[in-house]
Amino acid sequence: MPVLLLFLAGLLVVLQSMLWTGEGGREAVSGLQQQVERQTHDNASREQRNAALSAEVADLKNLASGGEAVEERARSELGMIKPGEVFYRVVEPDGTEAPDAAAPVDTPAP
C-alpha cells in the first residue's frame, strides 16, 4: 500500500509540473492570452481606420458633397489653388513648414 501511495504522489508531482511548465501549461496559455489581447487591440484600431476610409470614400462618391471633398483634398494634398487666389507657404523658424494656405485675392475688374 505505501508503494502505491508513493507512486500516486510521484504521479501527482509530475502532472502538476507539466501543468505549470509543460507545453500547453499555464505559461503558454498566459502568453497566448496576451497575444489575443494585442491582436484584438490591433483589430479594433484597424476597424476604426477602415471605417474612416469608408466614410471618406463615401464622401468622395457622393455627388452633392463630393465636389467639396475633392476640392479640399486637391488643396491640402496637391497644393492646388483656384484662379484669382494667391498661394502662401508659411515656414516656421525651426525649418518645418506650416500647413499650406490659399487666400483669395481681389482682382480688379478691367
How far is the C-alpha of 45 from the C-alpha of 64, rounded, in Å?
Answer: 30
Residue 110 has pLDDT above 50, yes or no: no
Residue 87 has pLDDT above 90, yes or no: no
Of 104 and 72, the one with more pLDDT: 72
Residue 107 has pLDDT above 70, yes or no: no
Instruction: Please report, rounded to a whole number, the percentage of residues in the chain having pLDDT higher than 70.
Output: 82
Using CB atoms within 10 Å of the CB of residue 9, give its burial: 0 to 12 exposed, 13 to 18 middle, 19+ buried. exposed
Closest C-alpha to 86, from 100, 99, 97, 74: 100
* Model pTM score: 0.45
First to last CA, the chain: 117
Residue 36 has pLDDT above 90, yes or no: yes
Closest C-alpha to 104, from 88, 87, 89, 85: 85
Q: What is the pLDDT of residues 92-102, one digit of tens each?
A: 887 665 555 44
Q: What is the pLDDT of residues 40-83, one digit of tens each?
A: 999 999 999 999 999 888 877 775 555 777 787 788 788 788 88
How far is the C-alpha of 78 from the C-alpha of 100, rounded, in Å?
Answer: 10
